[in-house]
A and B are shown apart, each in its own frame.
Chain A
Amino acid sequence: MILKAPEKNIRRYGKAEGTGYQSPEVWSKVTGKAVYGIDLNLPGMLYGKILRSPYPHARIKKVDTTAAEALPGVRAVLTGAKLESKPFGIAVEDELPLAVDRVRYIGDEVAAVAAVDLQTAVQAIKAIKVEYEELPAVCDPAEALQEGAPQLHDNFPGNVAWQRELVRGSPGDAFTGADLVVEENFTVPAIHQAYLEPISCVAVDDPYTGITLHTALQSPDAVRKIVAGVLNYPLSKVHVSGPVMGGGFGGRVYGNLKVYILSALLAIKSGSPVKIQLTREEEFTAGRPMIAAAIQMKMTVRRDGTILGREADIITDNGAYSAQAPWVSKTVSERNDSVYRIPSIKTRVRLAYTNKIPTGQYRAYGNQAANFATESLIDMAAKKLGLDPLEMRLKNCVREGDITVHGLQIGKCGLDECLKAAAKEIGWDQKKEGRGYGLSVAIHANGSLVFDKNFRGASALARLELDGRITIFTGEQDYGQGTHAAFAQIAARTLDVSPAQVTVESKETKTAPFSTGALAMRQTTIGGKAIQLAAEDLREKIFKTAAELAGAPVTMENGVMCSISGQELALAEVAYYNHSATSGLSMTGEGKFVPEESDYDESGYGNISIAYSYAAHAVEVELDKTTGALTVHRLVAAHDSGRIINHLTARGQIYGGVAQGIGMSCLEGYLFDEGRVANASLAEYKIPTALDLPEIVPIFIEIEDPAGPYGSKGLGEIVMVPVLGAVANAAADAAGVRVTGLPLSAEIIYQAISGWECEQ
């Protein structure tokens, strides 16, 4: 092999901060070359299709698959009665791969088939005869919690999937003789993640390697653990191989477990690869949208604006099965308490089973629902006390060194600066006539040990390739957020090379380190730190080997090493030297980032994360009082996510997250007609178009936080949180009355202005 030293005049890309580095992955997407799940087509592949319940609640009396099995081209038919499965679940074990004796929502999986083509699979599904006996259904979560309501699960009496009551400080004292108590009921509908690519999976069963699920997931390791459990396969015999992901937004953390499990079961039964591709309608009727929440909240405030306490009674709508709804309910019930200095809180949250679509998680994990309630109350209090909403927030917001009511330890914190910057940019002191203005603040954790107190961190491998390039192996996923670009920059900075010399591999669970995955805004902070450590370890090894090769100590700059005697060595030379000396081993750096143990206790008190990100948004709106139509003109998003590694992708996160926040504030939400999803299409479930979005102005308050790699922190989820409160406050400012149910549709606003009785 002829070795050639790399170019000596490499531009100094290595610095993490301030770059607009574009990962080459972007080009495969924009030129249409990227292979998404929907594109996959393996030799001999069959098409799977799922038969779903047409009833919100019914007993299955009989399933007859004879006609379906007799159809030419049908290779496998599955029913619940023939599978011997134990219940499984993410937070609560309440699901079966296929319903056995009962269906609990319109869309519940009853049978599955695999056939040589999609048309035959659809025919086979239609040929399955199911006898149902309809049962009384309950679709309203508050009704579901009442005595005498139809019961969904025998082992969850009272339809309570999960509940929590919590008192911290002395809320009783706080509310006694208070200067002011503000109180309101807020509602947030179920929200779909509306990723562009519906979920699909091609499952392959191989006698040697086991099951491979070709599907794009935010947390492939978490999913394969559950799938291995359901299939009763050893964990090392279940792999995930990820195609490019067409959007996730939390909806692909666990994705649609039924799709993975059923495609695997069909592949095992038929002996061929099986693809299940959800339709858009299935996404809306049998996906895992974020829970709807009804939040009854009150806050007590001293005359000078100091918050003394808050109480909340929250009911979240689980749907028929739990997915991550218990965890999301927990975030709804507490995360927002830590953005202000609130000494006392009292909370009750109940997650109710209803005969509707099961629910999961969405970007920001319900923090945005609580933001809508809390931030609305802050403005209500400020108005009653005659205080400036900006001043009231500045008076109460958390600052470095604080320990919040739930035990969160506030480290580096630029929330105060975010507020001031957002208010200044929106023109808080020079408000325009006829416009409404609103503010809102947020805190969000960078990874949370709530999921697993023992597994708090991340690990990564960094390998020096023979050509001098670097490959990073990580289980942290990129589905458009730009994580891989940031990881390449972190490794590049550590190794003093160009990020273009770094490739990030994360899609194969066979080779990637085990990871929690893309959730809880943990990837850059925790995953990125592991990559930094792996790159540091590799750098040490490179220096050692290079010194051996040069016979003298070396220094490195721009990927080129120089010995004290002046001899220059390219990375490729060092790699090849090691390769020969070890007869083929690669030089590999290991990085393990294990955050310190936390004081997090049984009651949920304690520091749940190594760092927190902060944000303040300011919004300018205009209201047409003749129709109630709200126009959001401008949104300023000021963020403290530490030192920004890549401003290009960071701004992208803000634009996208704000767009989703605007959607949730003004347009989106499930509509149900007795358990049936009434708006099960992108035509009727309205996400914003470009025309519906305001001018979005990102501001970064870059305060380095030592917790993350090169002072950086997470941004992906918090971007959405403050939008809801800020838009609601601006709308209330413009309208003169407050709307407390999302979305803030023109009709709802007009009803409020006109004092109509609600007609919902």
Chain B
Amino acid sequence: MSYLIASSLEEALTSLRDGSGKARAVAGATDLYLQEMPYGLVDLSFLKETTVIEEKEGLMSLGAAVTHALAASSPLVLSRARALAEGCAAIGSPQIRNIGTIGGNVINAAPAADAAVALVGLGAKAELVDINRETRTEAVENLYWTHNRSLVDSSKEIMVRFLIKPCLAGEGSAFTRFAARRALALPMVNAAARVKLEKGFVKEVRLVAAPARPAPTRLLKTEELVIGRPVNGETISMVEKAVAEEIEVRGSLLRCSARYRQHLVGVLVASALKTAATRAGTSGKAGD
């Protein structure tokens, strides 16, 4: 077995190519210990490209190897992409958050990964480069193949960074989750919302919930219903109902029944929307 701490993106890509499918890119690798170890590991945790958090030309850039702890406490993430900070703060334990990364959270492809749900809620796009130096940019929700399987092949491709439109004046985001225990527990449901208000009415909105399908699920029909409305009690009740109708969830012995999860998903999406709208309203008034 070999373990390379890559000192440049170039070196990482070369190592992957030399590994001919047997080496794998990692950042954090907290869940890898639960699986069978690949022959070679290429650690991306210390690259400039994968660890940067910055806002340039109206776009936020977050390295894929940014740890959950860093994302949860970054002033930029807290002010411009609050849902991600909240999602990252909810993951596992402090030890996991200090090691695990947001890119890993997406490529690990668990259906209700907290950072991934927040990223989809924010409308994040991932920038990837493969061993032939070809780059592509994809919406995060389009990177899922099936349950717990990513479309990103870590033996051939490296996720470099996420690009997120920052929440500016009149915009807000929020993340919610519900689990049996307050830490170290997979969620029964998690949800994220991003909303833009204009004169108190919803101009743009993204609503996302999980676990339902392999990828965090956008609630397009509910989003449509919300457009043009104020986020008041009536809208919140309407969202609770609409979400439960739009999304189909399953029950499990370990987590909860399908019926209860169906109820929760409505409550959580509505709650995320409400918080996001409050933040949007506040940021507008404060001239943030």
Point out residues on A near B: beta carbons under 8 Å: 626-627, 629, 667, 671, 673, 678-679, 683-684, 686, 688-689, 691-692, 745-747, 750-751, 756, 759
A residues less than 8 Å from B257 (CB atoms): 747, 759
Contact A627 B178 (CB under 8 A): yes
Cβ-defined contact, B259 with A684, below 8 A: no
Is B182 engaged at the interface, CB distance under 8 Å to the other chain?
A: yes
Task: Decide if A759 touches B183 in the complex (CB within 8 Å).
Answer: no
Question: Chain B residues near A759 (CB, 8 Å)?
Answer: 257, 259
How far does the Cβ of A417 sit from chain B's closest Cβ, in whole Å?
Answer: 34
On whether the beta carbons of B254 and A678 are closer than 8 Å, the reply is yes
Question: B186: shortest Cβ distance to chain A, in Å?
Answer: 8
User: Are B183 and A673 touching (Cβ within 8 A)?
Assistant: no
- Pick the most buried of B181, B256, B264: most chain A CB atoms within 10 A of its CB: B181
Residues of B within 8 A of A627 (CB): 178, 264, 267
B93 nearest CB neighbor, chain A only: A689
Question: Do A747 and B253 touch (CB < 8 A)?
Answer: no
Partner of A683, one of B184, B256, B259: B184
Q: A626, A671, A673, A684: which contacts B267 (Cβ < 8 A)?
A: A626
Of residues 160 through 200 on chain B, the ones whose CB sits less than 8 Å from some CB of chain A are 178, 180-185
Q: For the complex, is B39 an interface residue (Cβ under 8 Å from A)?
A: no
Across the A-B interface, give the 5 residue pairs with the lowest CB-CB distance, nearest first: A691-B182, A689-B183, A747-B260, A759-B257, A686-B181
Is B241 interfacial (CB 8 A cutoff)?
Answer: no
CB distance from A105 to the nearest CB of B (A): 18
Bound CA span A751–B259, Å = 10
Cβ-closest chain A residue relative to B181: A686
B17 beta carbon closer than 8 Å to chain A: no
Is the CB–CB distance between A689 and B181 below 8 Å? yes
State how many angstroms separate the Cβ of B58 from the closest Cβ of chain A.
Answer: 37
Q: In whole angstroms, what is the CA distance A679 to B185 when docked?
A: 13
Q: Are A678 and B253 in contact (CB under 8 A)?
A: yes
Name B211-263 residues within 8 Å CB distance of A: 253-254, 256-257, 259-260, 263
- Contact check: which of A683, A684, A751 meets B260 at CB < 8 Å? A751
One of A629, A679, A691 near B183 (C-beta < 8 A): A691
Residue of A nearest to B261 (CB): A747
Give the residues in chain B near A673, CB-CB below 8 Å.
253
Nearest CB in chain B: distance from A483 CB, A:
31
Residues of B within 8 A of A747 (CB): 256-257, 260
A sample of 18 cross-chain residue pairs with beta-carbon separation below 8 angstroms, ordered by A number, consists of: A626-B267, A627-B178, A627-B264, A667-B180, A667-B181, A671-B254, A678-B254, A684-B254, A686-B181, A688-B181, A689-B182, A692-B181, A692-B183, A746-B178, A747-B256, A747-B257, A750-B263, A751-B260
A268 CB → nearest B CB, Å: 37
Q: How far is the CA of A691 from the CA of B93 in the complex (A)?
A: 11
Chain B residues whose C-beta falls within 8 Å of the C-beta of A683 in the assembled complex? 184
Beyond known contacts A689-B182, A691-B181: 17 more, CB 8 A cutoff: A627-B178, A627-B264, A627-B267, A678-B253, A679-B254, A684-B254, A688-B181, A689-B183, A689-B184, A691-B182, A691-B183, A692-B181, A746-B178, A747-B257, A750-B263, A756-B259, A759-B259
Tally of chain B residues near chain A (CB < 8 A):
16
In angstroms, how far is the closest chain B Cβ from the Cβ of A665? Answer: 13
Interface positions of B (Cβ within 8 A of A): 178, 180-185, 253-254, 256-257, 259-260, 263-264, 267
Contact A686–B178 (Cβ < 8 Å): no
Nearest CB in chain A: distance from B148 CB, A: 16
How long is the Cα–Cα vector from A581 to B253 in the complex, in angstroms?
73
In the bound complex, what is the Cα–Cα distance between A582 and B178 (angstroms)? 73
A686→B180 contact, CB < 8 A: yes
Report yes or no: A746 in contact with B180, Cβ–Cβ below 8 A.
yes
Query: How many angstroms between the C-alpha atoms of A759 and B181 in the bound complex?
Result: 21
**Residue of B with least CB distance to A750:** B260
Quick check: A629 and B184 within 8 Å, CB to CB? no
Complex Cα spacing A686 to B188, Å = 14
Nearest-CB residue, chain B, relative to A687: B181
What are the residues of chain A within 8 A of B253 when measuring CB–CB?
A: 671, 673, 678
- Whether the Cβ atoms of B182 and A692 lie closer than 8 Å is yes
Cα–Cα distance between A96 and B267 once the two chains are bound (Å): 53
- In the complex, residue of chain B having the shortest beta-carbon distance to the beta carbon of A689: B183
Q: Which residue of A lies closest to B184 (CB)?
A: A689
A662 vs chain B, min Cβ distance (A): 11
Q: Which residues of B contact A688 (CB under 8 A)?
A: 181
CA distance in complex: A756, B258 (Å): 13
B184 engages A745 (CB within 8 Å) = no
Name the residue of chain B whose CB is nearest to the CB of A745.
B180
For A683, give the chain B residue with the smallest CB separation. B184
B32 to nearest A CB, angstroms? 16
A691–B184 Cα distance when bound, in Å, is 10
Q: Which residues of B contact A679 (CB under 8 A)?
A: 254
Report the bound CA distance from A138 to B182 in whole Å. 35
Chain B residues with Cβ under 8 A from A745's Cβ?
180
> Residues of A contacting B184 with CB < 8 Å?
683, 689
Q: Distance (Å) between the CB of A194 and the closest chain B CB? A: 13
Q: Distance in Å from the Cβ of A727 to the closest Cβ of chain B?
A: 16
A630, B253: Cα distance in complex, Å: 20
Contacts of A626 in B (CB 8 A): 267
- A686 lies within 8 A of B185 (CB): yes
Residues of B within 8 A of A667 (CB): 180-181
Give the Cβ gap from A164 to chain B, nearest Cβ, in Å: 33
| Assembly CA distance A760 to B257 (angstroms) | 8
**In the complex, how many angstroms separate the beta carbon of A659 from the nearest chain B beta carbon?**
13
Residues in B neighbouring A751, C-beta threshold 8 A: 260
Question: Which residue of chain A has the shortest Cβ distance to B251 in the bound complex?
Answer: A759
Give the residue name and chain of the B residue nearest to A631 (CB). Answer: B182
Q: Which chain B residue lies CB-closest to A684?
A: B254
Chain B residue with Cβ nearest A692: B182
A759 and B260 CA atoms in complex are apart in Å by: 10
With a cutoff of 8 Å between Cβ atoms, the chain B residues found around residue A684 in the complex are 254
Contacts of B180 in A (CB 8 A): 667, 686, 745-746
Q: In the complex the two chains form, what is the Cα distance from A678 to B257 in whole Å?
A: 15
Shortest CB distance B94–A (Å)? 11
Which residue of chain B has its CB nearest to the CB of A672? Answer: B253
Q: How far is the CA of A759 from the CA of B259 in the complex (A)?
A: 9
Complexed CA–CA distance, A667 and B179 (Å): 11
Residues of chain A with a CB closer than 8 A to B183's CB: 689, 691-692
CA distance A691 to B185 in the complex (A): 12
Q: Could you tell me the distance between the alpha carbons of A673 and B253 in the complex, rounded to whole angstroms?
A: 8
B158 shortest CB reach to chain A, Å = 30
